[in-house]
Amino acid sequence: MKAKGAFSPDIIAFCCAQSAYQAADTAGSMRIPYPENIRVIRVPCAGRVDVLHILRAFEKGADGVLVLGCHEEACRHLSGNVRAKNRVQKLNTLLQEVGIDGERVEMFTLAPNQGFRFARIANEINERIKELGPSPVK
Amino acid sequence: MIVAERKPLEDIKEMIAGYKKILILGCGTCVTICWAGGEKEVAVLSSQLRLASKKNGNELEILEDTIERQCEKELVEALKDKVQQVEVVLSMGCGAGVQTIAEIFPDTPVYPALNTKFVGMPEGEGIWVETCRTCGDCFLDKTGGICPIVRCAKGLLNGPCGGTNSGKCEVDPEKDCAWTLIYRRLEQQGRLDTMRKYYPPRNFQAVIRPGKVETLQA
Amino acid sequence: MDNGLRLGVFLCDCGGTLSKAIDFSAIKAELEKISDVTYVSISHDLCLERARKVMQEDIKDKGINRVVVAACSPELHENGFMNIIQAAGVNRYLLSMANIREQCFWAHPDKGKAAKKAMNQIGTAIDRARFLEPVEQTKISVNRDVLVIGGGITGIATVIELSNLNLKTTLIEKKTALGGKLNQFANLYPVRVTPGELLAAKLKQVTERQNIDVLTSAELIDVSGQAGNFTAKIRSGKKELVRNFGAIIFATGCDSQSPGQIYGLEPSNNIVTQSQLEEMIKSSSKVEEIPQSICFITDTSDKHSRVSSFSVLENALGIKEKSGGEVCVLCQSLQIDGAGLERLYRDCRNKGVLFIKFDIPPKILKQDGEIRIEVEDVLMSGERLTLSCDLLVVEETSMPPLDSKVLSSTLNIGLDARGFYQENNVHLYPVASNREGIFFAGNCHADLDLMRALTEASNAALSAYQLLAQEKITVEAEKTMVDPDKCRFCLTCIRACPHHAIQEFRVNHEKMVAQIVDLACQGCGICAVVCPAKAIKSKDWSDEQILAELELLGEHV
Amino acid sequence: MATAFKETLNSGKFVVTGEIGPPKGTNLEKTVHHIDLLKDKVDALNVTDNQSSVMRFPSLGTALLIKERGGEPILQMTCRDRNRMALEADLLFAYTRGIGNVLCLTGDSITVGDHKEAKAVFDLDSAQLLHMVRILESGKDLGENELDGAVKFCAGAIVTPEANPIEPQLIKFEKKVQAGAEFFQTQAIYDLDNFKKFMGYVRGLDKNIKILAGIVLLASARMAKYMNESVPGVFVPQALIDEMATAEKGKGVQKGIEIASRLIKQLKEEAICDGVHIMAIGREEVVPDILAAAGL
């Protein structure tokens, strides 16, 4: 295993096009830096993110996964963000069964103009995954 | 429909330990509808097992398939080529499915990935409740369409026990007392006389286990 | 690799700004090595018309059938690029974008790392492009009639707007007459017409129009069908009518609730609510009948309401002008925005209405029928004042109409935490419900003053018009679709769809399956996720496309 | 042969029954002590059957013990642990040993006890069990086979006068009467006004049904509150809970005895019902005190 400092985790961020994806754009427009190893996948709604997508991400070698959706009660599709939250919860169980720390996946909500929040979340998860080390299934 | 639930991964891992090539077989009927063993759940289990084997450094190759009904011999027979490629079949069907596969492919071990729970119906999104005990001697005509054999914790036929607690069951305060429901329903229908009748002990030979129903050929 | 694909990659360096960090020609050279990449171009300004023309021609000339654009955020120009490739004869959905500006060069100051990430993003966009699917467009006929529910000023204004747009409308009102709250209001500031005059003028228009049908004592019972083709069941008097509509607009307004008790005092002849006061003003023709000293109290609940603030100030001014008596407004903060509200406040002050600001809610006592108010005046450094008045006017809280609960569950439209109708997105789609073709206007979903309610009436009418402008409208066909062979008809998607856009369908008079209504579908893809048989595909965000984006995960940035 | 208990029931005397809970294990010392303490002070002693679904020394064995020591046992039989064959066989045996009184109950749910994973039987319910007793008396078993030597029992059942809702409970009660229940012991009662209403209903139905009111000794205000809130079919009026609260520390049982004896006295003096069934639940020692205080 590489030294902790040298480990640059692969993190996938599923971002709702209605909010989080735009928040990532806002972060860029405001030149708020965040780790470049966060890779954004744009989805129409956090509710489009399937348990399977996240499991596959780990199969493909992700060290951590973020699901980023709209604030509660602000989902354009009413329940999409709530569903995503429930799925992340279910996923934690599925991952734990496999032996992957549930801490590696988390759901956050944010608004399109929250560039700082996006960057803060990205930094936070990056630090956390660095702490946890590479995914045990890599 | 038949309601099932997936076994914990730990149990499944134990069953298939040591095998290098398996077929995970879903069933497209009841267990798909109750989110336990349809194509989606096959994919989830498959992904979990791949991750687990990767983590433990085991070699594991997984084939996935979902057929219309695992309890039909002809439909299972059609899987011959696929089954020949693997060491074991992990069935995501109900107990009937597992046994049909085992019968058609006696040389191949078949393992159940699900626990078959009961015959029931959906109550809310992702929630299923038992509504039929398959007793073989339907009693619903006497109880306003509410089955006391399933819904009364003690399966009583002649009225409530003393454990009715404000219309709830003493065993589980979340559950309604079936006999309170039956009383209200029969009262609503003006059929309380049905409840006043004495019903003799149940005939447990209504289904001689294992059950069999024979109907004249059409 | 010969997969029949001819990928065209269009790189844009944003006026040369991005090429400072990365050598675009090196990227181009790298991409050209990929076997199904047919063509790579570098542009400086793909957002400009000239470059777009070139792009369109390139697509045609090189026989490109999948387009990858690496440029700014798709949130900015995705639709524009879709139009270009459509004009070039390629299906508009065969576009994949890499956001190398906002989400790469602008966000990552380390140029080397940013360059590496950009390459990865473009590679990912190419991987995704291989799984893109065309989405065809189709035309469907719609019913162009509109149903407006609620005969208050908002509903009335809405039908007039719709009538102007040449759409036939049916206006239904629960009560026996139109007018709603306008029948109660005493003043309307700053317009110098009385509420009665305004209503009469509007009603005249309504009766004159041939294409407006008004049903009073009528209620909506049930709605079936989808946007463009709703069937509504209406109870009109004792009869039940069934009519077809293309869109439905809710303008059901709100109810108001007077506080049952205020400061432990029961409402009585000298403690009244706003609406009771308005009754008094309207019925008292003689100046003498208006009490000589009146106190208004507002901000006792923490909900700042436009309606209530407007009526407090309007009535304070109205009474001051009419009777010249003492008028005092006790408030915590009048923090309400509203056109003309600031001027109204100034007018009040100029005419001599007294404003007292408090932090701690005042004490109100009733002695021998007289009302005494003890209040600490914030602006006088907390000096304790004792006021007495002949009449105390308390504020009302607006409440959702009683039937909103029933209607929301029969129609499957959302309510907010307080029970008002929930707009789809308060910023982006302020008058749209979660169901396509159902709109809201006025106080049934928001706290609005008269001007704003009237603006919403036009807005809702235009939204309906947008949907029904033509007899046939263009929709994307089967952008999200159910595979009838795989569908188990488990009803999961029908129950889960937030837009009520999935219906039961019988295939060839045989099997029942779920079917997505193209016009009502809003593309969230929730159904595709919940389907336990994996029978639903959203073509623009398919599993294959999403998973393709994971392909380059192994390659460290 | 009518049992001594049955004769007492028909004698018009105010009947008093007590209750013995068998031990968890084979040490019968305390049980024997309780039997000796109570056997001459009450008309009969119930023996509970794996009470609260907790496995214990069998009710049949304890009933025999009472018999041996000269007492009059009432054998409680629940449907939870035995199917119809086992129940029949036990009844045949009981009869041969002179155990002539049986109380037929459904039984608590398995899940409330100490063998939560066991299979609950419930082949019969309490009404069917009563029927079964009568069928055995006719010289046949439930499979309609002839018996070589029949049985004869004084059979009783239970009823919950404070059940909520009461209507389904009363229907079941009537079924038990029709099935041949000769006496009823009730769930604990504390509110005599409510109980009088129930008795009015019973007397209207059939004057010959013998009702023994259930008296459960209260030991503290906390217990009274718990019984009221958590035990199905038990209502403890607030006044009684308050009264228990007035007891000095350590004198709760004393107060409980006072209340129990007061209830019994009133039941007897106003001839509200035919007797009482006293359940002291672990405090059998004080039952004589209750009886003395009630003037029995």
Count of structural domains, chain C: 4
The ipTM estimated for the assembled molecules is 0.85
Task: Quote the pLDDT of residue C286.
Answer: 60
Cis peptide before C190 (omega within 30 of 0): yes
pTM of the prediction? 0.83
Q: Give me the half-sphere count of Cα atoms (radius 13 Å) on the Cβ side of residue C169.
A: 32
Which range marks the domain in which residue D112 is found? Answer: 4-293
Q: What is the pLDDT of residue D126?
A: 97
Range with lowest mean pLDDT among C22-26, C319-323, D52-56, D206-210: C319-323
Question: What one-letter code names the amino acid at C319?
Answer: I
pLDDT of residue C183: 80
**Distance from C-alpha of C438 to C-alpha of C436, rounded to nearest angstrom:** 6
Candidate from B156, B164, B187 with C-beta closest to D164 = B164
Domain boundary among C368, C393, C418: C393
Edge-to-edge order in the sheet of strand C146-149 = C212-215, C169-172, C146-149, C247-250, C438-440
Q: A118: left (phi > 0), else alpha (psi -120 to 50), else beta?
A: alpha
Least Cα separation, residue C516 to chain A (angstroms):
16
The Cα–Cα gap between A39 and C118 comes to: 11
Do C41 and C85 share a domain, yes or no?
A: yes
Please give the biggest Cα pair distance in chain D. 62
Question: Quick check: C531 contacting B, CB < 8 Å?
Answer: yes
The residue ranges of every structural domain in chain B are 2-118, 133-196
- Name chain A's partners: 3 or more CB pairs within 8 A: B, C
Q: Which residues of chain B are modeled with pLDDT < 50?
A: none
- Residues 498-537 on C with a CB inside 8 Å of A are 498-499, 522-526, 528-530
In a domain, C72, yes or no: yes
CA distance B56 to chain A (A): 8
Tell whether B161 lies on the interface with D, counting CB pairs under 8 A. yes
Query: Which chain C residues touch A53 with a CB distance below 8 Å?
Result: 543, 546-547, 550
Return the pLDDT at A4.
47
CATH of the domain at C106: 3.40.50
Domain B2-118, CATH among 3.50.50.60, 3.90.226.30, 3.40.50.2300, 3.20.20.80: 3.40.50.2300
Q: Any chain C CB within 8 A of the CB of B1? A: no
Instruction: Count structural domains, chain D.
Output: 1
Strand B88-92, strand B21-27: pairing: parallel
User: Of C492, C495, C511, C529, which to mutate for an interface test with B (greatest number of B Cβ within 10 Å)?
Assistant: C492
Is C114 among the domain residues?
Answer: yes
> Pick from D233, D291, D282, D258: which is nearest to D24 by CA?
D282
Separation between Cα atoms, residue D4 and residue D9, nearest integer Å: 9
User: Structural domains in chain A?
Assistant: 8-132 (3.40.50.960)
Could you count the other beta carbons within 10 Å of the beta carbon of residue C172?
24
Predicted confidence (pLDDT) per residue in C177-214, tens digit? 998 888 877 666 656 778 888 889 999 999 999 999 99
Query: For the domain that residue C503 is a member of, what is the CATH number?
Result: 3.30.70.20
Q: Are residues C502 and C449 in the same domain?
A: no
Give the pLDDT of residue C304. 60
Looking at residue C411, its pLDDT comes to: 78
**Using 50, 70 and 90 to split pLDDT, how confident is the model at C288?**
low
In angstroms, the separation between the Cα of residue A128 and the nearest Cα of chain B is 20
Write the residue in D120, D172, D178 that is nearest to B160 by C-beta.
D172
Do residues C287 and C349 both lie within one domain? Answer: yes
Per-residue pLDDT tens over the stretch C228-238: 989 999 999 88
Q: What is the pLDDT of residue C259?
A: 61
The confidence score (pLDDT) of residue C374 equals: 86
Low-confidence ranges of chain D (pLDDT < 70): 1
Which residue of B195, B198, B201 is in closest CB contact with D179? B198
Please report the pLDDT score of residue C385 as a whole number: 86
Cβ-defined contact of A98 to B52 (cutoff 8 Å): yes
Q: What angle do CA C285, C286, C291 make, to 5 degrees?
A: 110
Does the pLDDT of residue C302 top 60, yes or no? Answer: no
Whether the per-residue pLDDT at C464 is higher than 70: the answer is yes
Report the chain B residue with the minimal C-alpha distance to residue A86: B126
Are C209 and C325 members of one domain? Answer: no
Are C216 and C336 within one domain? no
Phi and psi at residue C404, in whole multiples of 5°? -60, -35
Domain end: C330, C364, C393, which one?
Answer: C393
Q: pLDDT digits over C36-80, tens only? A: 999 999 999 999 999 999 999 999 999 999 999 999 999 999 999
Q: Which residue of B has its CA nearest to C487?
A: B28
Q: What count of CB pairs under 8 Å joins A to B?
A: 37
Peptide bond into B210 cis (omega under 30): yes
Give the mean model confidence (pLDDT) for residues C397-417: 78
- Which of B5, B6, B31, B33 to probe the C interface (max C CBs under 10 A)? B33
Comparing CA positions, the residue from C247, C307, C252 lying closest to residue C432 is: C247
C126 and C170 fall within a common domain:
no
User: Does residue C552 belong to any structural domain of this protein?
Assistant: no
- Chains B & D: contacts with CB separation below 8 Å: 98
Q: Do C90 and C195 belong together in one domain?
A: no
**What's the pLDDT score for residue A1?**
42
Structural domain boundaries enclosing C493? 478-541
Identify whether residues C211 and C126 lie together within a single domain: no
Q: What is the pLDDT of residue D90?
A: 98
Q: Does the distance separating the beta carbons of B39 and C534 come in below 8 Å?
A: yes
Measure in Å the smallest separation between the Cα of B38 and chain C Cα atoms: 5
Closest residue of C to A62, CA-based? Answer: C553
Query: Residue C1 falls within a domain, yes or no?
Result: no
First-to-final CA distance of chain D: 28
Can you tell me the mean pLDDT for C267-281? 76
List the single best residue of B27, B40, B47 to mutate versus C (max C Cβ within 10 A).
Answer: B40
Which alpha helices (DSSP H) does C150-266 contain, by range? 153-164, 195-208
Same domain, C495 and C453: no
Question: Mind telling me how many Å the CA of C159 is from chain A's nearest CA?
Answer: 27
**Percent above pLDDT 90 for chain C:** 49
Q: What is the mean pLDDT of residues C74-92?
A: 96
Nearest-angstrom CA–CA distance, C422 and C416: 5
| Pair (C39, C77) in one structural domain | yes
pLDDT band at C367 (very low <50, low <70, confident <90, very high): low
Residues C95 and C21 in one domain: yes
Among C275, C410, C394, residue whose Cα is nearest residue C329: C394
The closest of D247, D214, A43, D121 to B162, measured between CA atoms, is D214
CATH number at residue C384: 3.50.50.60
Q: Which of C550, C551, C556, C557 to mutate to test the interface with A (most CBs of A within 10 A)?
A: C550
- What tens digit of pLDDT does each residue of C371-382 get? 888 888 888 887
B47 to chain D nearest CA, in Å? 34
User: How far out from the chain centre does Cα C164 lie?
Assistant: 22
Q: What is the structure's pLDDT at A3?
A: 47
Return d(Cα B10, Cα C338) in angstroms, integer: 63
- The overall average pLDDT reported for chain B is 95
One domain for residues C113 and C170: no
Label each residue of chain B as H, E or C: CEEEEECCHHHHHHHHCCCCEEEEEEECCHHHHCCCCCHHHHHHHHHHHHHHHHHHCCCCEEEEEEECCCCCHHHHHCCHHHHHHCCEEEEECCHHHHHHHHHHCCCCCEEECEEEEEEEEEEECCEEEEEECCCCCCCHHHCCCCCHHHHCCCCCCCCCCCCEECCEECCCCCCECHHHHHHHHHHHCCCHHHHHCCCCCCCCCCCCCCCCCCCCCC
Mean pLDDT of chain A: 93
Q: Which of C113, C422, C496 sits opposite A36 (nearest CB)?
A: C113
Say yes or no: D82 contacts chain B, CB-CB below 8 A: no
